[in-house]
Chain A
Amino acid sequence: MKRGEFIRLTAGMAVVAPLVNACDGQKRNAAKTIPGKIVGASAAAGHLLRDHAFNPPSEFETKEVVIIGAGVSGLSAARHLVQQGIEDIVVLDLEAHPGGNAASGGNAFSKYPWGAHYVPVPNNNLTDYLAFLEDAKVITGYDQAGLPVYDEFFLCHDPEERLYINGHWQEGLVPNFGLNAVQLAEFKTFFKFINHFKNLKGADGLDAFSIPVDTSSRDESLRALDRVTMKEWMDNQNLSSEYIRWYVDYCTRDDFGTPFDQVSAWAGIHYFASRKGKAANAQHNDVLTWENGNGFLIDELRKLLDGKINTGALATSVKTSANGVKISYLDVASRQLKGLEAKHCIMAVPQFVAARLLSDTGRGKALAGHFHYVPWMVANLTVKELHERSGQPASWDNVIYGSPSLGYVDATHQQVQQRKERRNLTYYLPLTHASPEVARREAYRAEHAFWAEKVLSDLQRVHPDIREQTERIDIMLWGHAMAQPRPGMVHGDVRKTLANSIGNAIHFAHTDLAGVSIFEEGFYQGLNAAKKILQQS
């Protein structure tokens, strides 16, 4: 048959072509500077505060509730308050755009995330969260069995994940290509453990691992897992091959920015064992994602908040007052300190910021040595067609075995058109090679060219022509990306103490108080803080 012959011939040509190509792959290594810059405005606002003396505000505008921080936590709180009829609120954020760690950007080809980029299919007991997703039309309805139906455009399209390992792109991130039987068996054992934990309940009848973290069982045998590292736990189970170690380390760096020999075993296992979501048209390990990552959810969270978000507003102090709370903030545009007085304040900022705003040295001390904020570098690359190594074609999540990075996510992956002129790739690198303080200092000192080179030399292994094909690289540095769940974080006391409201007026909501940094935690942090206020009014 003619058609067949043609396909065969072209297939044959496709085999020969790379051999011929391979010869001229090497010759163009000459350094070429790729345009781009280091983005992020917060540092500038911070410097303004440091370098100028400002007059304290003379007037204090009154509000019922002031929320500091327009990340997931702050916006979720604000949204719930408005839904419950409390309209006299304002959300302050120092950045020009709301979103916090779920911020996003874009260019002519697509939007793209600067941080958080997906959420897993939610657990079905999270009714408030599911209701939000229904409002956001992410859930389009429920089937006869009562399972949510997700909008197909938002479920991550196939092919979802690939791992470059032993010279080949394999499907999925769990290593299997080139592993021997013993190494493969370790993964079986590991997932057997995980499955056990997934279904396990503590003596108190609660799920061993649940979302939010604080709804998990407090059974002593489980709390013990928070006293060892993930690596120690794995060593105890004789899970010690290079491959399983890499895999678990990859996962804990991916979700917590924490290597497996530093992360609490409880948190490490939580990552694998807490996802139990069921859906009409998806599985528990499927994810929801958008061009702009969780920026999509940020836009949905703020839908009811028109005119209530004040960006370019850097909070400088929070004090209790006779009528409630007095808040000062720097209006970056007018370079003026302004004042607000509110019955309630929700501090939806990281705890090291909260301690500073409250001028509370006690809080600062409690944090020191306990909360470790890991820095991250995120790069967005605009690329033309890339040379591909053998195996699974370009996917949403593309991970390189053995790389210090977490690989890259393709922001254009969810686009449905046939031809993409350019793709935007978001590259993630948690800076865990040194202590957070040292890594942070290094990171802020390094220039664009340094980061660009770091990204390109990593990706060159899988895309030899990445230098020629990259049109632009922008860099985002997250100095305090997330608090690491090291042993003692989840089940220790510090986190809980810091989460206590101050009087009836000041409440806290941030993912660093939750123990692990994920969207759902932020959503419930905000919701619960809002509920505390509603209970009083």
Chain B
Amino acid sequence: MKNTAGRHSAQWVLLVAVFIIATCGLIYELVAGTLASYLLGDSVTQFSIIIGVYLFSMGIGSYLSRFFKDHLLEWFIRIELLVGLVGGFSAILLFLVFPLAFSFQPVLYALVGVTGILVGIEIPLLLRILKDKVEFAELVSRVFTYDYIGALLASLIFPLIFVPYLGLIRTSLFFGLLNVGVGLYLCRYFAGEVRGVRAIRFGGVLILIAEVAAFIFSEQIMSFSETLAYNDHVVYSTSTPYQRIVITKNRHDLRLYLNNNLQFSSADEYRYHEALVHPAMGASGLARNVLILGGGDGLAAREILKYKSVRNIQLVDLDPVMTKLFTEQDILAEINRHSLKDPRVTVTNADAFIWLKENKKQFDCVIIDFPDPSGFAVGKLYTTAFYRLLQTAMTRNAVAVVQSTSPYVAPKSFWCVNETLKASGFQTIPYHNYVPSFGEWGYIMAYKPNDFHLPVTFPIEKKYISEAVMEQMLQFPDDMLAHGPVEVNKLNNQALVNYFEKEWGKYLEQ
């Protein structure tokens, strides 16, 4: 260094570097912690372990720093670049690894460990670099002051600014870029004192380019892996033109999500499907021809196949990927007991509304298992227009049943479906049951005015339904009633979608 003024500013440059390193280091830790609690749940455990691992690795880093004997500045810059590389890509790596590896935690802790070690090496290294430039007491105080200020800054800006505006992937890349930027700046500043500065700079620029590119394409990278929303291991996920299908699995159950909404948990789906299918099947007598609208998972079909009277099941589901999965994928087909391969079952991939408009056949029992009316498109499948078409597809004594969302969370929505069915010329029998993974769930049976009988016995293999349970399911406590008039859902008012949005929205705010 040329003179004291130069010395002085060199010192400041290094101290600013400490500040940035400290900020970045803590940010990586926070990114890892947040990601782990998103992906694995249980944020207390996750954060606590990650902080522990991080601090411990910093200790290891400090210890290792003693093995760096000379060319300290050079090493310092190299490590700085390395931190930028590892930390910058940490979020992407974790997102990508999550659906692939069943052992996610080792990767997570390894990353946190490596970052910790690297950051841990840097501080002592810096102290030694500055050792003969500043008085020791002042040096230690300054370095640690900047270290801790950096930490405070990181912990404030991370939740307030970075996560909401940039998201995790871009946040970690941003700080990676900052690290690399510092490294490159130091290269320049100390060009005269560093050996092999070109090679280091070249490496730094490469990392810089890679991170900028990743920053720009982070969206595409993210869409690779949308594990963010799921608590369990994603064992399969795909986007079809119709929906996003995600299957997750943990020790207890397998779950199917369509557009992020839970469709079933293998642990308790029998409660839902027995309640959906058997009252209508029982009431329709010896049904021969059964229609299933929706229900591409084959679980309703599995229940229907328990009846000997059944000759044909026509299943109409929008999404060929869905029905193919549940026909051919072994783990899934085991859950529906290979119902979709049964010769009595005909699978048609078509839009239910359009299919029904063109259909000429009549059925003895119709099971309607559509997604909840959460938007105007699905809302059409719950309108008088749709139910009038449905009538034409039913024999005189046929019974239909409609899954009708939760009468506890969304009573107006539930009773709106009931009113709509009535306005379409049906008589109805609303009922509900408890499905642990869903909560209280509602169904409505609909039939043309005739001598209808509720089933007395359920002469099939079952885990849940019985005559006593049936009786119970018909009872609606006060907190599941609409309390006031509800509108009929029509194509030109979409009343149901509005109820549904309000009621579920309010429920989720709580």
Contact = CB atoms under 8 A, between A and B. Distances in A.
Contacts of A11: 508
A13 B386 CA distance: 33
Given A16-B164, A159-B376, A3 B491 contact: no
Nearest to B507: A4
Q: Which residue among A2, A6, A416, A421 has the maximum number of chain B CB atoms within 10 Å of its CB? A: A416
A393 B492 CA distance: 15
A418 B376 contact: no
A150 B361 CA distance: 26
A6 B508 CA distance: 10
B474 interface: no
Contacts of B376: 157-159, 393
B439 A13 contact: no
Nearest to A420: B377
A515 to B, nearest CB: 30
A19 B262 CA distance: 26
A13 B228 contact: yes
A160 interface: yes
A281 B384 CA distance: 11
Given A152-B492, A416-B380, A417-B353, A10 B219 contact: no
Contact of A2 (B167, B242, B262, B318): B262
Nearest to B230: A6
B262 A6 contact: yes
Contacts of A393: 375-376
A156 B385 CA distance: 13
Interface string B439-461: 10000000000000000000000
Contact of A152 (B230, B231, B261, B490): B490
A32 interface: no
Interface residues of B, number: 47
Interface in B308-354: 318, 351, 353-354
Nearest to B351: A417
Contacts of A10: 229, 260
A416 B219 CA distance: 32
Nearest to B406: A3
Contacts of A41: none
Given A3-B261, A419-B241, A281 B167 contact: no
A282 interface: yes
Interface in A386-417: 393, 416-417
Contacts of B229: 6, 9-10, 13
Interface residues of A, number: 33
A13 B163 CA distance: 11
B392 interface: no
Interface string A149-172: 000110111111000000000000
Contacts of A16: 164, 167
Contacts of B504: 7
A8 interface: yes
A1 B508 CA distance: 10
A24 interface: yes
Given A13-B229, A418-B378, A20 B262 contact: no
A481 B380 CA distance: 36
Interface in B417-442: 437-439
Nearest to B495: A158
A9 B38 CA distance: 10
A152 B351 contact: no
Nearest to A288: B492
A158 B492 CA distance: 5
B491 A158 contact: yes
Contacts of B439: 1, 3-4
Interface string A102-137: 000000000000000000000000000000000000
Interface in B37-68: none
A261 interface: no
Contacts of B261: 3, 6-7
A281 B388 CA distance: 15
A6 B318 contact: no
Nearest to A416: B353
Interface in A7-29: 7-11, 13, 16, 19-21, 24
A286 interface: yes
Contacts of B166: 20
A4 B242 contact: no
A159 B377 CA distance: 10
B385 A416 contact: yes
B170 A20 contact: yes
B307 interface: no
B179 interface: no
A190 B116 CA distance: 69
B375 to A, nearest CB: 8
Contacts of B34: none
Interface string B201-220: 00000000000000010110
Contact of B437 (A3, A24, A153): A3
A468 to B, nearest CB: 15
Contact of B508 (A8, A24, A421): A8
A234 to B, nearest CB: 31
Interface string B341-371: 0000000000101100100000000000000
B239 interface: no
Interface string B381-421: 10111101000000000000000000000000000000000
B384 A418 contact: no
Nearest to B504: A7
B494 interface: yes
Contact of B351 (A6, A8, A159, A418): A418
Contacts of B491: 152-153, 155, 157-158, 416
B508 A159 contact: no
Contact of B492 (A2, A4, A155): A155
A394 to B, nearest CB: 9
Nearest to A14: B260
A2 B216 CA distance: 33
A155 B384 CA distance: 13
Given A8-B508, A416-B385, A2 B494 contact: no
Contacts of A282: 492
A419 B242 CA distance: 7
Contacts of B490: 152, 155, 158, 281
A10 B505 CA distance: 12
A281 B357 CA distance: 21
A2 B385 contact: no
Nearest to A283: B492
Contact of A419 (B219, B351, B438): B351
Contacts of A13: 228-229
A11 B357 CA distance: 34
Interface in A227-273: none
Contact of A9 (B228, B241, B265, B494): B228
Contacts of A155: 490-492
Nearest to B222: A20
A257 B486 CA distance: 41
Q: Which residue among A3, A16, A24, A419 has the maximum number of chain B CB atoms within 10 Å of its CB? A: A3
A44 B316 CA distance: 50
Given A16-B164, A157-B491, 9 more contacts: A2-B265, A8-B508, A20-B167, A157-B376, A158-B493, A393-B376, A416-B386, A419-B318, A419-B351
Interface of A: 1-4, 6-11, 13, 16, 19-21, 24, 152-153, 155-160, 281-282, 286, 393, 416-419, 421
Interface of B: 164-167, 170, 216, 218-219, 228-231, 241-242, 257, 260-262, 265, 318, 351, 353-354, 357, 375-378, 380-381, 383-386, 388, 437-439, 490-494, 497, 504, 507-508
> Lowest 10 A-B CB distances belong to which pairs?
A158-B494, A417-B351, A10-B260, A155-B492, A416-B353, A152-B385, A157-B491, A9-B229, A3-B262, A8-B508
21 contacts: A1-B439, A2-B231, A4-B439, A6-B262, A8-B508, A9-B228, A16-B167, A20-B170, A20-B218, A156-B492, A281-B490, A281-B492, A282-B492, A393-B375, A416-B351, A417-B351, A418-B377, A418-B378, A419-B351, A419-B377, A421-B241
